[in-house]
Structure 1
Amino acid sequence: MRRAQQGLATLFMALTLLAIASLVLLSASRQLVLAHANAQNQHRYHQALNYAEEGLLEGQNALASGKAIAKGKTLLSTAHYIVEQETLPPDRVLLRSTGNYDGHAVTVQRVFLLGSGEDEARSALNLVGDLNLSGSVKLIGDKPVDMTVDGKVTLGGSVENIDTLQSTGDIIVSGNQAINILHSNGNIELSNGRYQTVKTVGNLTLTGSAMVEQLARVNGDARFLNSPGGQYAVRQAQVKGKVEINSGGARFGALEAEGKVDIQQFGGMESLKALGELVIQGWGAPISGVVARSASYNVNNPDIRVVVDPKLSLKLTPVPLLQVSRPRIDAYDFRGEAHYRFERDEQDRIQVTVRQVNNIPDGSYRLGMAADSQQPNRLCRELDAAGRCLGGRPSYLICKGFDPDTGDCFAGSAPGKWKLAGTTMAPGVLWFDGDLEIGSGSYHNSFLATGNIVTSGRHISYAVNYAGKIGICGNPDFPQNAPLDYCRDGVFQSRPIGNAVLLAGGYQNNRFSGGDITLGASTQVYGNVWAGNMLFSGGSTTIHGYISAARQSGNASQRHDWGGSTTIDLSNLPDSFKPGADPGQNGGAGSGKRLRALPYSWMDSGAGS
């Protein structure tokens, strides 16, 4: 009986231990299943989020083109995302983009302010054509702004305080930069600097001390040959092509690749997912991941934990092509808005047409000397043989020379070539038929020329909108000659062209000419600089406004060479000045609606069925 009881106790103990072991095994299995499910959910979430963001960008492009406004609620619909629009009176549109992946849905949305060219844009630099920057560009403002180049970008110098650099061509950087976002339709090559997000439709190459602190998205192949000294070479990368890593002891964050991954030397990787084969040369470093094909590495290294799973699925969202609209810059569009229009008549005599200027009747005038003195720079109806205003009729001073009695502001001018040099000019919009060279002086004018514009000497000028009420309506040098369409009953009212301080180039018979703006050393301009063709800077130049250079000559061999230092100061701008306004009338040539994303957006995610 005692033996039976002992046997029964032993059996009970064994069953109890077996039950406990089963519970432990079930718990461990459950944790493994939960971890696997969580990893799968995270993967589905990020893929759905990528699709949602892609849809939001495509929806924004559709809005900018003007095609979306007349359509219904559903703006775009693809296998990966659905974009809906909702009009928010009076001038706002909400875009809601839902990305779907493997039953998981993520929704992102953003509100955009619509306009026709008067809204604030964030691209302080808009260039058409290749940019070779060996000097420096410094932006001063309350927040970083964008730089857009419709061409190739080569940065050997430096840029400061730029949030996003986007280019339709390659981006090659050797200077030490700190840029938040790079977006290229071509290849990106970085050998220096720190970047938060890098997106390229082509290939990506990192060398030297360059590092990506958040995310690199690559449609082509990627080569990570950088070693930023104890830092992460890249925090996260999504590469649709092949990947080569030879970054010394630098660590790598997470990598997702659709092609082969070849690792020669690195300091380890946090996670890896690759559809191609994996090759790790030498001893290797700590890495954990899964690949769909073969994995070749030193099996004696216990820190290499790689699983081969032929069923691994990885569909990376491609980087979308950057859509850039080109401005149309044409001085002839604004010929009728000039307060003083400088041309030559049939007899090749200077003719100045006045419009909407207080105390000067509208009409055509000659430029000559006062009837009773040698004082030049006066407008009069007729001249005598000596170039004096005919007596008995009023004349009007419009420019003050360096010598107030004899200094001719327009000395040296010739047909098609205007030279302006003096202490100051009557305020307002000035329009010149031909090339214009502006020397030393301080001006409260918007200068428009159908040809090229050159500044020289210690030149300072304020656009009409920048000068505002004090410089235009209450100008101390010309208190009786305020432009009437900007100054009504003592109140200053901005007009679009008044945002420009310099605008060059124009179309005649559908042919563009001129359009080059050359800023001399020590030039300071307050307002937008709109070059219909190319912009050249002589160094130590300060622009208190935005820059557009449209390369409308069509000469693809021309490029913007900036070797000096250019400062763009967007701090403390007056309320009357709107730097983001489009240089073309009616919002530009075919550019559609101008959009400004309001500074708030939010995300709502939820699992689908």
Structure 2
Amino acid sequence: MSSQAKQGGLATLFMALTLLALASLVLLAGSRQLVLAHANAQNQQRYHQALNYAEEGLLAGQNALSQGLPLPASPHYQLKMTDLGAGRLRLESIGVYDGHQVRVQRIFQQGEDEEPPRSALTIVGDLNLSGAIKMISDKPVDMTVDGTVTLDGSVDNIDTLQSTGDIIVRGNQTINTLHSNGNLELSNGRYQTVKAVGKLTLTGSAMVEQLARVNGNADFLNSPGGQFAVKQAQVKGNVLINTGGAPLGALETEGKVDIQQFGGMASLKALGDLTIQGWGAPISGAIAGRLGYNTNNRDISIQVDPKLQLKLQPVPPLQVTRPRIDAYDFRHEAHYRFEYDDKGRILVTVRQIHGIPDGSYRLGIATDSQQPNHLCRELDASGRCLAGNPSYLICKGYDANTSDCFAGSAPGRWKISGMTMAPGVLWFDGDLEIGSGVYHNTFIATGNIVTSGQHVSYAVNYAGAIGICRNSDFPNAYPLDYCPGGVFKGRPIGHAVLLAGGYRNGKFRGGNITLGASTQVYGNVWAGNMLISGGNTTIHGYISAARQSNDASLRHNWGGSTTIDLTQLPDSFKPGVDPGQGGNNGGKKALTALPYSWMDSGVGS
């Protein structure tokens, strides 16, 4: 082989090695970029996932603050709240993912308590009202019935009556708004607005002064003394009119109109046929269907327009949330819990009372006197507190030395008869009967509750500082959790004066509250089943009767006179606050996120 050929081979080999080295360098550089890109992508993924967790925590923390609940804990985020003063709160949330952390924060302005719902009466089941309900309030309130309502009696100062069933009114009412998921049958009264998912029937002297909206048919058979039978009506079904000499205002309907007798109409739009019997009265408007009337009456001016269109909005059905009332939810919120042990002996569990250590006690006679109604750790054979152990008075009888406030009680049946009891939340396992006296207590019973005689009771939140923290009958036995540092601080269950009924093994028991004649209660009345009023009863608070027994045959029959007085309420009492399940929806605060206060304030690994 020549030297020239050898040199050419060496040059080719050198070129190949050079290209291979260059390719290796390019490959290494590309691999490094790929590794860096992959690392950056992983970092970006960790950052975004940590940021998602941080924002999730921020939202969860905001919801907890708005409901007065503790900040939640989670393995995905850590929360910290700082009070900045002047009602401002800084909420920080650190999201954590795969060792990566992202911190975000937001500043909120905390407002006053949210305006409570204004359903002064919430009833589950059919209601027959033959008596009178009188509302005394600075402004009209609402009444909600999850069932059919029949009003032969009267209601006063109700702004809105809404029902998931029919509403039948025979008594003379003045109600701003009626809203029914069923039919409306009104033979008396004056109303501003009525809304029916079903049919509307007006008879007698019933009168709608503003607007009637109806998804079904409408029959106007009323004659309200020469005034408008209805000022304005929007009906998706057919309309029958026989109002005598009473006129109608504006009528719009997607159905047909049959006029038998009336005093004229301001205007008419109908997609169906129009029939006017007899001579008729002045009317003008347009229809899309056929027209039948006395053509000699020149006061009738109706245009037939087959292309006429109407877009009437249907009445939306009511969405009613039923309250859930369960005495067992509040068992551990009681200051005095009354039960019977397995030997048939009364057991009272005390919690958070100044001057009385927490724990279980017996009811007996004081160590140093003949006075009953004392709590003591142990009793001797005669029912006296054992010598050498302290005893604590919790009830004052009519006679301090002989009256046993709990005489006649038995397992599952409690009777209280006295002048007053130590203030606080009282919880009873079973039925409860409360006689005459003046009490500063929230009474909770797993069974039924009955009041009798000249009974007066104040819910804990209604009684406030004077009745609870500085009670003149029991100045040294006050609830510590309601009187921290001597300043009254209410809790949601303290808005209830009477609460009855509970679930045991998944089945509801009890829940009936019977208010005796001349009963005066200051606070909300929460009947898990039925509320029965003996007449001449005054409730200074809201009413709920939930019919949780699910017995469809039960009807609320109210024949007496019941007054609901919502005036001059103390600041500590908010009647619209629902104690809920364990009081979880009381004490809500309005939180407003301040503009530009959101901040991603740090990233780290």
Say whether the fold is shared (TM-score over 0.5): yes
Q: Is 2:307 aligned against 1:311?
A: yes
Paired with 1:247 and 1:274, the residues of 2 have a C-alpha distance of 19
SS of residue matched to 2:298: coil
Deviation, structure 1 residue 90 = 9.4
Paired with 1:219 and 1:431, the residues of 2 have a C-alpha distance of 48
Change (3 A) 1:185 1:428: same
- Deviations 1:159-205 (CA, angstroms, capped at 9, x unpaired): 00000000000000000000000000000000000000000000000
Paired with 2:586 and 2:146, the residues of 1 have a C-alpha distance of 18
Paired with 2:208 and 2:481, the residues of 1 have a C-alpha distance of 51
Equivalent of 1:297 in 293, 299, 312: 293
Q: Is the 8 A contact 1:184 1:200 kept in 2?
A: yes
Counterpart residue number, 1:198: 194
Deviation, structure 1 residue 508 = 1.2
Which amino acid in the other structure matches residue 563 of structure 1? G
- Deviations 1:371-430 (CA, angstroms, capped at 9, x unpaired): 233211000111111111111111011000111110110011011000001000000000
Deviation, structure 1 residue 447 = 0.1
Q: 1:182-221 maps to which residues of 2 (within 5 A)?
A: 182-221=178-217
Equivalent of 2:497 in 490, 501, 523: 501
Q: How many residues are paired up?
A: 487
Equivalent of 1:545 in 526, 541, 544: 541
Q: Is the 8 A contact 2:329 2:582 kept in 1?
A: no
Equivalent of 2:161 in 152, 165, 173: 165
Paired with 1:275 and 1:163, the residues of 2 have a C-alpha distance of 34
Q: 1:332-411 maps to which residues of 2 (within 5 A)?
A: 332-411=328-407
Q: Is 2:255 aligned against 1:223?
A: no
Counterpart residue number, 2:173: 177
TM-score w.r.t. length of structure 1: 0.78
Paired with 1:566 and 1:149, the residues of 2 have a C-alpha distance of 17
Change (3 A) 1:595 1:313: farther
Counterpart residue number, 2:266: 270
Counterpart residue number, 1:512: 508
Which amino acid in the other structure matches residue 279 of structure 1? T
Paired with 1:294 and 1:155, the residues of 2 have a C-alpha distance of 40
Equivalent of 1:140 in 133, 136, 142: 136
- Deviations 1:120-150 (CA, angstroms, capped at 9, x unpaired): 1110000110110000001111100000000
Counterpart residue number, 2:242: 246
Which amino acid in the other structure matches residue 191 of structure 2? Y
Counterpart residue number, 1:320: 316
Which amino acid in the other structure matches residue 338 of structure 1? A
SS of residue matched to 2:222: coil
Which amino acid in the other structure matches residue 188 of structure 1? L
Counterpart residue number, 2:452: 456
SS of residue matched to 1:207: strand
Counterpart residue number, 2:566: 570
User: Tell me, which stretches of 5 or more residues in structure 2 are unaligned?
Assistant: 1-62, 67-86, 90-108, 591-605
Counterpart residue number, 2:411: 415
Change (3 A) 1:205 1:587: farther
Paired with 2:554 and 2:485, the residues of 1 have a C-alpha distance of 48
Counterpart residue number, 2:551: 555
Paired with 2:531 and 2:565, the residues of 1 have a C-alpha distance of 17
SS of residue matched to 1:482: coil
Paired with 2:582 and 2:361, the residues of 1 have a C-alpha distance of 31
Counterpart residue number, 1:232: 228
Change (3 A) 1:492 1:159: same
Runs (4+) off by over 3 Å: 113-119, 591-596
Paired with 2:557 and 2:328, the residues of 1 have a C-alpha distance of 27
Q: Which entry has the higher C-alpha Rg, 1 or 2?
A: 2
Counterpart residue number, 1:447: 443
Does 339-348 or 577-586 show the bigger shift? Answer: 577-586
- Deviations 1:496-545 (CA, angstroms, capped at 9, x unpaired): 10000000001111111010000000000000000111111110000000
Q: Is the 8 A contact 1:119 1:595 kept in 2?
A: no
Deviation, structure 1 residue 592 = 13
Paired with 1:595 and 1:319, the residues of 2 have a C-alpha distance of 33
Which amino acid in the other structure matches residue 225 of structure 2? G
Which amino acid in the other structure matches residue 162 of structure 1? I
Paired with 2:415 and 2:586, the residues of 1 have a C-alpha distance of 37
SS of residue matched to 1:414: coil
Deviation, structure 1 residue 115 = 11
Q: Is 2:256 aligned against 1:260?
A: yes
Counterpart residue number, 1:22: none
Paired with 2:184 and 2:126, the residues of 1 have a C-alpha distance of 14
SS of residue matched to 2:229: strand
SS of residue matched to 2:518: coil
Counterpart residue number, 2:603: none
Paired with 2:126 and 2:186, the residues of 1 have a C-alpha distance of 17
Change (3 A) 1:281 1:594: farther
SS of residue matched to 2:150: strand
Paired with 2:583 and 2:407, the residues of 1 have a C-alpha distance of 37
Counterpart residue number, 1:23: none
Q: Is the 8 A contact 2:578 2:586 kept in 1?
A: no
Counterpart residue number, 1:284: 280
Deviation, structure 1 residue 230 = 1.6
Q: Is the 8 A contact 1:137 1:567 kept in 2?
A: yes
Deviation, structure 1 residue 583 = 3.0
Counterpart residue number, 2:599: none
Which amino acid in the other structure matches residue 456 of structure 1? S
Q: Is the 8 A contact 1:454 1:518 kept in 2?
A: yes
Equivalent of 1:437 in 433, 438, 445: 433
Deviation, structure 1 residue 264 = 0.4
Does 229-238 or 367-376 show the bigger shift? Answer: 367-376
Counterpart residue number, 2:12: none
Paired with 1:440 and 1:493, the residues of 2 have a C-alpha distance of 28
Counterpart residue number, 1:528: 524
User: Tell me, which stretches of 5 or more residues in structure 1 are unaligned?
Assistant: 1-65, 70-88, 92-112, 597-609
SS of residue matched to 2:120: strand
Which amino acid in the other structure matches residue 282 of structure 2? P
Counterpart residue number, 1:73: none
Paired with 2:123 and 2:424, the residues of 1 have a C-alpha distance of 27
Paired with 1:308 and 1:230, the residues of 2 have a C-alpha distance of 29
SS of residue matched to 2:331: helix
Counterpart residue number, 2:119: 123
SS of residue matched to 2:249: strand
Paired with 1:119 and 1:479, the residues of 2 have a C-alpha distance of 34
Identity of matched residues, %: 76
Q: Is the 8 A contact 1:444 1:472 kept in 2?
A: yes
Paired with 1:468 and 1:592, the residues of 2 have a C-alpha distance of 17
Paired with 2:582 and 2:275, the residues of 1 have a C-alpha distance of 57
Paired with 1:381 and 1:340, the residues of 2 have a C-alpha distance of 14
Paired with 2:405 and 2:112, the residues of 1 have a C-alpha distance of 38
Deviation, structure 1 residue 489 = 1.2
Deviation, structure 1 residue 593 = 12
SS of residue matched to 1:492: coil
Paired with 1:375 and 1:500, the residues of 2 have a C-alpha distance of 31
Counterpart residue number, 2:4: none
